[in-house]
Chain A
Amino acid sequence: MPRVPESGSDATTTDVPPGEPVESGDLSRVAADLAADAHVRASRWDQDGGLPDSVRKEVAASGLLAADLPERYGGAGLHPLALGEITARIGGECSALRGLLTVQGMVAAALLRWGTEAQRADWLPRLAGGELTAGFAATEQGAGSALGSVETRIEASGRSGHRELVVSGHKRWVTFGAVADVFLVLGKYEGRPAAVLVDAERAGVRREPVNGQLGMRGARIAHLSFDGVRVPRRQLVAPPGLGLSHVVGTALDHGRFTVAWGCVGMAEACVEDAATHAAVRRQGDIPLGDHQLVRSLLARAAVDAAGARELARRAAQARAAGPGHGVSETLMAKYAAAAAAAAGSRDAVQVLGSAGCAPDSRAARHFRDAKVMEIIEGAQEVSELHIAERLLRRFGDAARGTDRHVRPRLPGESP
């Protein structure tokens, strides 16, 4: 096995430079301790049924979850860049644990943006304080990238004077779905996309834990069934019609942001493991790192990781302008970081050789998890469509000269 430093090396982690927000000091230390713990235990979580409830509750109590929520809702008001750094630190050790941050952040972001004041006051402090673990239930058997095709039904209940809703349908691949306390569920209300919060303890909620999938094995993933689950109508988030474009859209945007930073951490961890091994491992009389082909793998992985980090930083800076900003930058960062993590982990396993194939290999776990990152929160190919669409807008519009007198700069578009 390669020697692995206790914490990230200077070569692969970047301290927040002077002038950047530093209010995250305490939480950064909490994240560093958590990452050190995960460094030792993540392989076991991956192999033995997932992140233990005790660890999940510890993380929840630490204040790390949904820490970018404003203080008035129990959050730490974390700057996107500080949130990103924390997410990378944790993601570099364990994607399942990073997934916990991601999902809680997604549901919190959607509620912060599109919840009523009563909903925000009711739910957000419990999410930020870790009293509740959230799940995000959008994907169905027949609806992956095309979430507009979901078949889950959200209906007004006739027998309660329409003060209740009845939720029926099947959801798949819900991260922490096996243990979450509340789900943000995407369905259709009178044919229109709608989002509703469904408490896990309500009658008719059934969970089917998933095991043995390619990656994210520690993330307590479950398929869910909602069999006529009754919830108060006040748990509907935003009016029907806006559940996908606004509520789920906001959640996915936030998810892409933390997935991007998690992938930055994975890519950097893989560079660290591969370079450490190449520096100390000898085959015959020759250090592995003296082979040009090995150096090529290392160099490319390092450049990919550094590029992904810069795109993630750019996204963080754009998001600092407030909710709704940085959507395009975030999409691009997630795309690049997932690719960097996927390629970097593949090459790290290659450089590590048999050690990279071992059951407790961090690079091997990242290799499996990074492939999942190329699929979730927008598959790579879907991201390419969106990125290209925005290019066509910018340059097509400029070339045609249409509306030039009022031509706005699109949100997230570079000057």
Chain B
Amino acid sequence: MNDVTSQITGFLSAALRRRVEPDDDYFAQGFADSLFALELVTFVESRFALTVEVEDLDLDSFRTANRITEFVRRKTGAPESGEAHAEGS
């Protein structure tokens, strides 16, 4: 597991009080309480020094730790080639 993903699963496991694997869909599993979604956004913003805009928000980008990793790479990677950058890192 890469470092970004492991930081995210670490947060998720602590926040949801159960082991969360990189592909677990924790929202669908129903473990999140009503403050969790905001805490998750704040964690991602603070930890990876980025801003989550409403345009970034679709349910899918935050559905699993691996999806969040992709999102983080897109936001922090080279502006023109986010995907390629993600592949290479």
Q: A55 within 8 Å of B by Cβ?
A: no
Whether B42 pairs with A411 at a CB distance below 8 angstroms is yes
**Given A238-B54, A239-B57, A410-B43; A253-B38 close (CB under 8 Å):** yes
**Given A407-B10, A411-B46; A246-B38 close (CB under 8 Å):** yes
Q: A242 within 8 Å of B by Cβ?
A: yes
B-contact bits for A235-278, CB 8 A (1 contact / 0 none):
00011011011100110010000000000000000000000000
Query: Could you say which residues of chain B place their CB within 8 Å of the CB of A244?
Result: 34
Q: B37 within 8 Å of A by Cβ?
A: yes
Interface residue from A116, A389, A396 paired with B33 (Cβ < 8 Å):
A389
Whether B13 pairs with A327 at a CB distance below 8 angstroms is no
Alpha-carbon separation in the docked complex, A114 to B56 (Å): 10
Query: Could you say which residues of chain A place their CB within 8 Å of the CB of B47?
Result: 408
The SS class assigned to the A binding surface is helix
**Given A397-B17, A408-B47, A410-B14; A116-B55 close (CB under 8 Å):** yes
Whether A239 pairs with B58 at a CB distance below 8 angstroms is yes
Whether B10 pairs with A327 at a CB distance below 8 angstroms is no
User: Which residue of chain A has its CB nearest to the CB of B13?
Assistant: A403
A-contact bits for B43-61, CB 8 A (1 contact / 0 none):
1011100000011011100
Question: A277 to nearest B CB, angstroms?
Answer: 41
Whether B54 pairs with A116 at a CB distance below 8 angstroms is yes
**Given A242-B57, A396-B17; A325-B42 close (CB under 8 Å):** yes
Query: Could you say which residues of chain B place their CB within 8 Å of the CB of A245?
Result: 32, 34, 36-38
Alpha-carbon separation in the docked complex, A386 to B10 (Å): 20
Query: Could you say which residues of chain A place their CB within 8 Å of the CB of B39?
Result: 324, 327, 410-412
Give B18-48 interface residues, CB cut-off 8 Å to A: 19, 32-39, 41-43, 45-47
Whether B38 pairs with A410 at a CB distance below 8 angstroms is no
**Given A114-B57, A238-B54, A241-B59; A392-B38 close (CB under 8 Å):** no
Query: Could you say which residues of chain A place their CB within 8 Å of the CB of B43?
Result: 408, 410-411
Question: B32 to nearest A CB, angstroms?
Answer: 8
Give A112-169 interface residues, CB cut-off 8 Å to B: 113-116, 147
User: Which residue of chain A has its CB nearest to the CB of B6?
Assistant: A406
Interface residue from B10, B14, B45 paired with A393 (Cβ < 8 Å):
B14
Query: Could you say which residues of chain B place their CB within 8 Å of the CB of A407?
Result: 10, 14
B-contact bits for A96-125, CB 8 A (1 contact / 0 none):
000000000000000001111000000000
Whether A324 pairs with B10 at a CB distance below 8 angstroms is no
**Given A239-B58, A402-B19, A410-B14; A331-B42 close (CB under 8 Å):** no
Q: A147-B34, A386-B33, A396-B17 given. 17 additional CB < 8 A pairs?
A: A114-B57, A116-B55, A241-B58, A241-B59, A245-B32, A245-B34, A245-B37, A246-B57, A253-B35, A324-B39, A324-B45, A327-B42, A406-B6, A408-B14, A408-B43, A410-B43, A411-B43
Report 8 cross-chain contacts, Cβ distance below 8 Å, ordered by A residue: A246-B38, A246-B41, A324-B42, A393-B14, A393-B15, A403-B10, A408-B10, A408-B14
Report which A residues bind B (CB closer than 8 A): 113-116, 147, 238-239, 241-242, 244-246, 249-250, 253, 323-325, 327-328, 331, 386, 389, 392-393, 396-397, 402-403, 405-408, 410-412
Report which B residues bind A (CB closer than 8 A): 6-7, 9-11, 13-15, 17, 19, 32-39, 41-43, 45-47, 54-55, 57-59
State the 3 A-B residue pairs at the shortest beta-carbon distance, nearest first: A406-B10, A324-B42, A245-B37
